[in-house]
A and B are shown apart, each in its own frame.
Chain A
Amino acid sequence: MTLRMPMPDEGAIARRDEIARAMRAIVPGDGVIDDADGLRVYETDGLTAYRQPPLIAVLPETSAQVAQIAAWCHANRIKIVPRGSGTSLSGGALPLADGLLLVLARMNRVLHVDYDDRIAVVQPGVTNLAVTDAVSERGFYYAPDPSSQIACSIGGNVAENSGGVHCLKYGLTANNVLGAELVLIDGTIIRLGGRHLDPGGLDLLGVVLGSEGLLGIVTEVTVRILPRPETARALLIGFPGAEAAGACVAAVIGAGIIPAGMEMMDRAAIHAAEAFVGAGYPLDAEALLIVELDGVAAECRHLAERVSAIAKENGAQSLRVSQSEEERLAFWAGRKAAFPAVGRLAPDYYCMDGSIPRRRLPEVLSRMAALSRHYNLDVANVFHAGDGNLHPLILYDANEPGELERAEAFGADILRLCVEVGGALTGEHGVGVEKRDLMPVMFSGTDLAHQQRVKCAFDPDLLLNPGKMFPVLHRCAELGRMHVHRGQLPFPDLPRF
């Protein structure tokens, strides 16, 4: 294990029984877990390579309880790691040995739906798909659709600013949230935004979105809901290479068409998906595009013709346009099953998440192939082609000594490559612990200091989800804000790493 986390505070660990008593006074019933078996359930999230049971897990049911928990932890200098459904792929909800895990899964009610204002007010533990389920009867849906949408929670989506295959047209979580209730580390409950557009003032909600649980605890979210498009059609297009597929993507956008989704898979991913679900994918293709068009029927028909023509001009080898909803879903079945399908090719896989300018795709794929040879590990690629978000899946065997470390080194090289070509370390999975130490590849020390001062404005004692996102945890006082009390730093023994 190469990851270094802050040295646990032995003092906090020794206080576990006292903390449990205090928490049981706030959260009645079975919402406080402090036994080893119970805590093991929470030892990891979607990034399963890292495991650490929390000091204690607490499952509050109301905002008021969350506020009391935060206030108690703040007064007692106990760290808090918030967790929704635990599907983070970057270790955003990895517990701390000396920290309280605040599990928001029991706050799972849809509080209010207003179809005239096209909003839903939900608690953070509501799953992504449950928002759509709550409004589908009236023909509405919630647009962001991360692949874990059956399980992942809205609170987690807010923390990670989650995307999905349709964010090319409909945006990430941040583009679909109007307001939130946030509990600050000292227990203050604030409301940011509301049910209206443009709340005015500093866009604090904008910076809380995607802040990975480091700024506050989201206890209520107001999301926009949209009327479901009248219809949708998908095109399944095979190409002899990534260059041709990339050129087709550029030509579609160049023609003024923004599809609802535009996904690319490479040969390894095509074959794995086809073997897994039998979606009818062309096995002779080096690159496969799925282009989804949605809207009124006349628009879908019109655009399907235009995209078909563009695909042929760009060297498509095969082209199918879905003729029914069943066929459209079949086209997607392979893509949606790509991760587990690739998972059958090797005992383990490591899912990466870099973002690049689209035009650099062929170069990035060819350099990735060279890295694959260098590390002697196979890689399969699925790619949100419309918005430049790569998901290389590195295949390895954790039981082979050194393979996990090699997979991680390969992954880090891929992300460095993304930044080198003008891209970003993460398009939608977050930094968490996974990419924390790579942050200096993308940001200078001054850039990071400006980010961390935002953290200090919200959480000057660094009690919320420490060890995530920032490679070096500076004391806030060092960054230019003074919190010296009677000549002593608040954390004289705060571990540095």
Chain B
Amino acid sequence: MTASPSPASADDLCDLFRAGAAAGEAVELVGGASKRAIGNPARTTRRIDLSAFRHVIDYDPAELLLTVGAAAPLADVERLLASEGQMLAFEPFDHGALSGGAGGTTIGGIIGAAVSGPRRLSAGAVRDHMLAFEAVSGRGERFKGGAAVMKNVTGYDLPKLMTGSWGQLAALTSVTLKVVPRPEVEATLLFRIAEDRAAVEAMAAAMGSPAEVSGAAHLPEDGITALRLEGFAPSVAARSRMLRGLLGPADAIEGEESHALWRRIREAAPLAGEDILWRACVAPSAGPALGEALRAIGGRHFYDWAGGLVWLSLPRDADQAPVREHAGRLGGQAMLTRAPDDLRRRLPALHPSHPDVAALTRRVKTAFDPAAILDPARWEAPDAD
């Protein structure tokens, strides 16, 4: 790795990308460096520090709009929003927490990795709140997409394409997000349910009711199914009664205790440690089949998104292949989120696509980054069996 420049402007970034393209030198885009433990570590890149793009550009609480530099730290943004009684609805979190570290994750990193937490189930994902951006593509050209309004269908929805692209198309320099009011009250009902299948059925019943559940997780090792209700006090009280009527008795936690539980869930704290950590997405009703199949080979797991997000861990010495086999067979996908270097060289972090989709994906990447400078090797597995 050569010295890491810190471009001060989008034009500087254009120059760096053009130079990279001319020299055939790949670049690694770094904001808060919270996700460097994801992807193949064995690659040669020039690290580019994006921290100059860290400022709040415009925040208009009445319009529910926030525009910030892509390297704005998530923690700063969340503090700013909280000062106006607002928040990011999709409940992002710092990936650093998955590896025992924390702090530093940026808005650009949240968007690039599409990091949505428990409320993704009811409020939508990062992509649903990403309204507009400015960026420098792999061509070394400044461009923008979307518009800073709630509703816009003008041209292709490039903000969605940027979300979850892991910086493979462009370096975001600024982004405009839709923000929402923070709920007045939060309460979580804790139901004692031992079996995974019974828990997922209970969560499906809750999600199929008018109770407007904003978080639905099951922690098998505690035998607890947690259902979160948010909103105005009379509404939360009425919906608590509704859920108890539907599912039976439950304990309730509120306020900071409830916040803390959902923070643990979104940061996968129940599976903290050194084991290999996978984040698998399947249809909610397929969640238990995945969890149980992995339990049979020594895996541990818990469910978010009413069963549709399965956090899985396997011992380091276990064969990891069954994770993707089962997730794929169930119609879903699994991302490798915590693993030692040798495994990261053998298994791609992102679930492989169908060959026809992979071919289309390559064409789209080439459209934005024809010289392949935006760190493509990170997503390959050079030591694959």
**Which stretch in B35-43, B93-101, B117-125, B249-257 binds the other chain?**
B117-125
- Contact residues in A for B183 (Cβ distance below 8 Å): 256
Complex CA–CA separation, A255 to B370 (angstroms): 48
**Which stretch in A15-23, A56-64, A396-404, A423-431 binds the other chain?**
A423-431
- Contact residues in A for B175 (Cβ distance below 8 Å): none
A405 sits at the interface (CB 8 A): no
Docked-complex contact A425 and B151, CB < 8 angstroms: no
A480 sits at the interface (CB 8 A): yes
Which of B152, B184, B210, B357 has the most C-beta atoms of chain A within 10 angstroms of its own C-beta?
Answer: B152
**Which stretch in A24-32, A36-44, A77-85, A171-179 binds the other chain?**
A171-179
Docked-complex contact B127 and A204, CB < 8 angstroms: no
Docked-complex contact A207 and B160, CB < 8 angstroms: yes
B248 sits at the interface (CB 8 A): no
CB nearest to B335 among chain A residues: A200
Which of A140, A160, A302 has the most C-beta atoms of chain B within 10 angstroms of its own C-beta?
Answer: A302
- Contact residues in B for A447 (Cβ distance below 8 Å): 143-145
Docked-complex contact A207 and B239, CB < 8 angstroms: no
Docked-complex contact A481 and B367, CB < 8 angstroms: yes
CB nearest to B160 among chain A residues: A206
- Contact residues in B for A184 (Cβ distance below 8 Å): 360
A8 sits at the interface (CB 8 A): no
Docked-complex contact B156 and A197, CB < 8 angstroms: no
Q: Name the contact of B160 in the complex, choosing from A203, A253, A431, A480 (C-beta under 8 A).
A: A203
Docked-complex contact A302 and B235, CB < 8 angstroms: yes
- Contact residues in B for A201 (Cβ distance below 8 Å): 164, 333, 350-351, 353, 357, 361
Which of A117, A194, A201, A447 has the most C-beta atoms of chain B within 10 angstroms of its own C-beta?
Answer: A201
In this complex, the interface size class of chain B, counting residues with CB under 8 Å from chain A, is 35 or more
A167 sits at the interface (CB 8 A): yes
B381 sits at the interface (CB 8 A): no
* B355-385 Cβ-contact flags toward A at 8 Å (1 or 0): 0110011011111101000000000000000
Least Cβ–Cβ distance between B85 and chain A, in angstroms = 6
Docked-complex contact A196 and B145, CB < 8 angstroms: no
A325 sits at the interface (CB 8 A): no
Give chain B interface residues in 275-318, CB to chain A under 8 Å.
Answer: 281-286, 305, 308-309
Which of B124, B305, B360 has the most C-beta atoms of chain A within 10 angstroms of its own C-beta?
Answer: B360
CB nearest to B330 among chain A residues: A196
Complex CA–CA separation, A389 to B153 (angstroms): 11
- Contact residues in B for A359 (Cβ distance below 8 Å): 60, 62-63
* With A198-B125, A355-B149, A481-B366: A118-B208 Cβ-Cβ less than 8 Å: yes
Docked-complex contact A206 and B127, CB < 8 angstroms: yes
Least Cβ–Cβ distance between A233 and chain B, in angstroms = 13
* B9-37 Cβ-contact flags toward A at 8 Å (1 or 0): 00000000000000000000000000000
Complex CA–CA separation, A119 to B285 (angstroms): 11
Give chain A interface residues in 426-461, CB to chain B under 8 Å.
Answer: 426-431, 435, 439, 442-444, 446-451, 453-458
* B156-170 Cβ-contact flags toward A at 8 Å (1 or 0): 111011011100110
- Contact residues in A for B180 (Cβ distance below 8 Å): 258
Least Cβ–Cβ distance between A201 and chain B, in angstroms = 5
Docked-complex contact B161 and A454, CB < 8 angstroms: yes
Give chain B interface residues in 122-136, CB to chain A under 8 Å.
Answer: 124-125, 127-128
B55 sits at the interface (CB 8 A): no
Docked-complex contact A480 and B238, CB < 8 angstroms: no
A367 sits at the interface (CB 8 A): no
Least Cβ–Cβ distance between B291 and chain A, in angstroms = 14
* A249-276 Cβ-contact flags toward B at 8 Å (1 or 0): 0100111111000000000000000000
Q: Name the contact of A427 in the complex, choosing from B152, B164, B211 (C-beta under 8 A).
A: B152
A227 sits at the interface (CB 8 A): yes
CB nearest to B141 among chain A residues: A446
- Contact residues in A for B157 (Cβ distance below 8 Å): 161, 174, 206-207, 209-211
* With A256-B182, A299-B232, A457-B363: A431-B208 Cβ-Cβ less than 8 Å: no
Least Cβ–Cβ distance between B232 and chain A, in angstroms = 6
B57 sits at the interface (CB 8 A): no
B220 sits at the interface (CB 8 A): no
Docked-complex contact A194 and B235, CB < 8 angstroms: no
Complex CA–CA separation, A175 to B159 (angstroms): 13
Which of A203, A449, A458 has the most C-beta atoms of chain B within 10 angstroms of its own C-beta?
Answer: A203
Complex CA–CA separation, A117 to B169 (angstroms): 33
Chain A interface, number of residues (Cβ within 8 angstroms): 98
- Contact residues in B for A209 (Cβ distance below 8 Å): 157, 160
CB nearest to A192 among chain B residues: B357
Docked-complex contact A454 and B305, CB < 8 angstroms: no
- Contact residues in B for A258 (Cβ distance below 8 Å): 180-181
- Contact residues in A for B281 (Cβ distance below 8 Å): 196-200
Least Cβ–Cβ distance between A83 and chain B, in angstroms = 18
- Contact residues in B for A316 (Cβ distance below 8 Å): none
* B175-193 Cβ-contact flags toward A at 8 Å (1 or 0): 0000011111000000000
Least Cβ–Cβ distance between A455 and chain B, in angstroms = 8
B225 sits at the interface (CB 8 A): no
B245 sits at the interface (CB 8 A): no
Complex CA–CA separation, A457 to B364 (angstroms): 5
* B198-216 Cβ-contact flags toward A at 8 Å (1 or 0): 0001001001111110000
Least Cβ–Cβ distance between B127 and chain A, in angstroms = 6
Docked-complex contact A196 and B332, CB < 8 angstroms: yes
Docked-complex contact B181 and A256, CB < 8 angstroms: yes
Docked-complex contact B364 and A454, CB < 8 angstroms: yes
Least Cβ–Cβ distance between B378 and chain A, in angstroms = 14
Complex CA–CA separation, A228 to B209 (angstroms): 8
* With A197-B121, A199-B281, A202-B164: A426-B149 Cβ-Cβ less than 8 Å: no
Least Cβ–Cβ distance between B121 and chain A, in angstroms = 7
* A214-236 Cβ-contact flags toward B at 8 Å (1 or 0): 00000000000001111000000
* B317-360 Cβ-contact flags toward A at 8 Å (1 or 0): 00000000000000111010000000000000011011011001
Complex CA–CA separation, A197 to B120 (angstroms): 9
* A283-311 Cβ-contact flags toward B at 8 Å (1 or 0): 00000000000011111011100000000
CB nearest to B116 among chain A residues: A198
Docked-complex contact A227 and B357, CB < 8 angstroms: no
Docked-complex contact A204 and B360, CB < 8 angstroms: yes
B52 sits at the interface (CB 8 A): no
* A343-382 Cβ-contact flags toward B at 8 Å (1 or 0): 0000000000001111100000000000000000000000
A422 sits at the interface (CB 8 A): yes
Q: Name the contact of B234 in the complex, choosing from A206, A302, A358 (C-beta under 8 A).
A: A302
13 A-B pairs besides A163-B151, A206-B127, A454-B158 with CB distance below 8 A are: A114-B283, A171-B124, A174-B128, A197-B309, A198-B116, A206-B163, A296-B235, A355-B150, A387-B151, A424-B149, A444-B144, A450-B368, A481-B366
Interface residues, chain B, CB within 8 Å of chain A? Answer: 60-65, 85, 114, 116, 120-121, 124-125, 127-128, 137, 139, 141-145, 147-158, 160-161, 163-165, 168-169, 180-184, 201, 204, 207-212, 231-232, 234-235, 237-239, 242, 281-286, 305, 308-309, 331-333, 335, 350-351, 353-354, 356-357, 360-361, 363-368, 370
Can you list 27 contacts pairing A with B, beta carbon distance less than 8 Å?
A: A116-B285, A140-B208, A163-B151, A172-B151, A174-B157, A175-B128, A191-B354, A194-B331, A195-B331, A197-B125, A197-B305, A198-B116, A202-B169, A202-B365, A211-B157, A230-B210, A297-B238, A298-B235, A299-B238, A357-B60, A387-B149, A388-B63, A423-B152, A427-B149, A447-B144, A451-B155, A455-B156
